Amino acid sequence: MIELEGQVETTRAPLYLTKLCKHFQHKVEVEFDEHQARVDFPFGECRLHADQRRLRIHGRVMDQAAAERMRYVIDDHLRRFARQEQPRIQWRETDR
């Protein structure tokens, strides 16, 4: 099992969490409110947490290919929804 931790500093974290979840729910199971979310991707589970200063991401995947896929999907979609800000997620990975 690989665990991913990511975060991006932004004052718009609740907005981005909501936009990401509304988009993802068209294809996968999503549960969310304005401060937390769970997204069940085919390649792993992702949890999001938003506060007034940052958006935190926690992912659990089975292998390195799934880890790369999750990072790509979250990075790509966040860049699309936050075009003006162009946030960069700081990722780290741990094996469990």
Specify the DSSP class assigned to residue 2: E
In a domain, 95, yes or no: no
In a domain, 96, yes or no: no
- Residue 59's domain spans which residues? 2-90
| pLDDT tens track for 11-24 | 999 999 999 999 99
In a domain, 41, yes or no: yes
Diameter of the chain measured on Cα atoms: 36
Is 0.95 surpassed by the pTM of this model?
no
In a domain, 47, yes or no: yes
| pLDDT tens track for 23-73 | 999 999 999 998 999 999 999 999 999 999 999 999 999 999 999 999 999
Residue 94: CA atoms inside 13 Å, Cβ hemisphere, count?
Answer: 6
In a domain, 70, yes or no: yes
Q: How many domains does the chain have?
A: 1
CATH number, position 52: 3.30.310.50
The predicted structure's pLDDT at residue 96: 62
